[in-house]
Chains A and B, each alone.
Chain A
Amino acid sequence: MTQAFRNSDGGRIDRGKRVSFTFDGQNLEGFAGDTLASALLANGVRLVGRSFKYHRPRGIVGSGPEEPNALIQLGVGAHTEPNTRATQIALFDGLVSESQNAWPGVGFDVGAINNMVSKAIPSGFYYKTFMWPAAAWMFYEKFIRSAAGLGKAPTEPDPETYEKRSVWCDVLVVGGGPAGLAAALAAGATGARVILADEQSEFGGSLLASRDRIEGRDGADWAGDVIDDLAGMPEVRVLSRTTVVSYHDHNYLVAVERVNDHLPLGKRHGPRQRLWKVRARQVVLATGAIERPLVFAENDRPGVMLAGAVRTYVNRYGARPGNRAVVFTNNDSAYRAAIDASDGGIAIAAIVDCRAQPEGALVRLARERGIEIVAGSVITGVRGTKQVSEVEVATLTQDGSDVAGARRSIDCDLVMMSGGWNPTVHLYSQSGGKLAWNADLATFVPATAAQKSREAGAVNGSFSLMAALAEGSRAGSAAARDAGFEGEEPAVPACDAGPGDGVLALQALWDVPCGRKGAKRFLDFQNDVTASDVALAHRENYSSVEHFKRYTTTGMGTDQGKTSNVNGLAIMAGLRGVDVPEVGHTTFRPFYTAVTVGALAGINSGPELLDPVRKTPMHHWHEQHGAHFEDVGQWKRPYCYLRPGETVKQAVDREVLAARTSVAILDASTLGKIDIQGPDALELINRVYTNNFATLKVGACRYGLMCKDDGMVFDDGVTARIGENRYLMSTTTGGAPNVLNWLEEWLQCEWRDLEAYCTSVTTHWAAIAIAGPNSRRLLAELTATDLSNEAFPFMTWQDGEIAGIPGRIFRISFSGETGFEVQVPASYALALWRALMTAGEKYSITPYGTEAMHVLRAEKGFIIAGQDTDGTTTPYDLGMDWIVSKKKGDFLGKRGLERPDTLRDDRKQLVGLLTEDPNEVIPEGAHVSPSPHSNKPVPMEGWVTSSYYSPNCGRSIAMALLRGGAGRIGETVAIPLEHKVVRAKITRPVFFDEEGERLRG
Chain B
Amino acid sequence: MLLIECPHCGPREQTEFTCGGEGHIVRPDPATATDAEWGHYLFMRKNPKGLHYERWFHAHGCRQWFHAARSTVTHEIFAIYGIDEPPPAIDANKAGSR
Contacts and interface: CB of A to CB of B under 8 A. Distances in A.
Interface in A745-771: 745, 748-750, 752
Given A249-B75, A250-B75, A749-B83, A895 B33 contact: yes
B98 A252 contact: no
B30 A748 contact: no
Nearest to A750: B27
A717 B75 CA distance: 40
Nearest to B31: A890
Given A748-B64, A750-B27, A896-B42, A249 B2 contact: yes
Interface in A871-927: 890, 894-896, 899-900
Contacts of B59: 741
B44 interface: no
A908 B67 CA distance: 38
A503 interface: no
A726 interface: no
A899 B84 CA distance: 29
A749 B13 CA distance: 22
Nearest to A279: B3
Interface string B29-51: 01101010011001100000000
B52 interface: no
- Name the residue in B30, B59, B84 with the highest tally of chain A Cβ atoms < 10 Å from its Cβ: B30
Interface in B1-57: 1-3, 13, 18, 20, 27, 30-31, 33, 35, 38-39, 42-43, 55, 57
A900 B36 CA distance: 11
Contacts of A434: 98
B94 interface: no
Contact of B2 (A250, A450, A710, A894): A250
Given A250-B2, A896-B38, A752 B98 contact: no
A900 B75 CA distance: 39
B2 A741 contact: no
Contacts of B35: 899-900
Contact of A450 (B20, B38, B64, B98): B98
Given A252-B1, A748-B64, A710 B42 contact: yes
Nearest to B63: A744
Given A450-B98, A890-B30, A249 B63 contact: no
Contacts of B39: 899
A501 interface: no
Contacts of A899: 35, 38-39
A250 B20 CA distance: 20
B65 A252 contact: no
Contacts of A709: 27, 42
B3 A252 contact: yes
A169 to B, nearest CB: 13
B43 to A, nearest CB: 8
Given A745-B57, A752-B84, A895-B38, A432 B3 contact: no
Contact of B98 (A432, A894, A895): A432
A899 B33 CA distance: 11
B38 A749 contact: no
Contacts of A450: 74, 98
A749 B3 contact: no
A749 B65 contact: yes
Contacts of B1: 248-250, 252
A276 B96 CA distance: 32
A250 B2 CA distance: 6
A700 B88 CA distance: 47
Nearest to A166: B13
Interface in A679-738: 709-710
Contacts of B20: 745, 749
A450 B18 CA distance: 25
Contacts of B55: 749
Nearest to B66: A748
Interface in B75-92: 75, 83-84
A267 B10 CA distance: 43
B30 A894 contact: yes
A940 to B, nearest CB: 25
Interface in A617-675: none
Contacts of B42: 709-710, 896
Nearest to B42: A710
A251 B14 CA distance: 13
B38 A748 contact: no
Contacts of A249: 1-2, 75
Contact of A745 (B2, B65, B74, B84): B65
A750 B25 CA distance: 10
Interface of B: 1-3, 13, 18, 20, 27, 30-31, 33, 35, 38-39, 42-43, 55, 57, 59, 63-65, 74-75, 83-84, 98
8 contacts: A250-B1, A252-B1, A279-B3, A450-B98, A709-B27, A745-B20, A749-B20, A895-B38
Interface of A: 166, 248-252, 279, 432, 434, 450, 709-710, 741, 744-745, 748-750, 752, 890, 894-896, 899-900
Complex A-B, nearest 4 residue pairs according to Cβ-Cβ distance, in ascending order: A895-B30, A250-B3, A249-B75, A748-B65
Given A432-B74, A434-B98, A899-B39, 20 more contacts: A248-B1, A249-B2, A249-B75, A250-B1, A250-B3, A252-B1, A252-B3, A279-B3, A450-B98, A709-B42, A744-B65, A745-B65, A748-B64, A748-B65, A750-B27, A890-B30, A890-B31, A895-B30, A895-B38, A896-B42
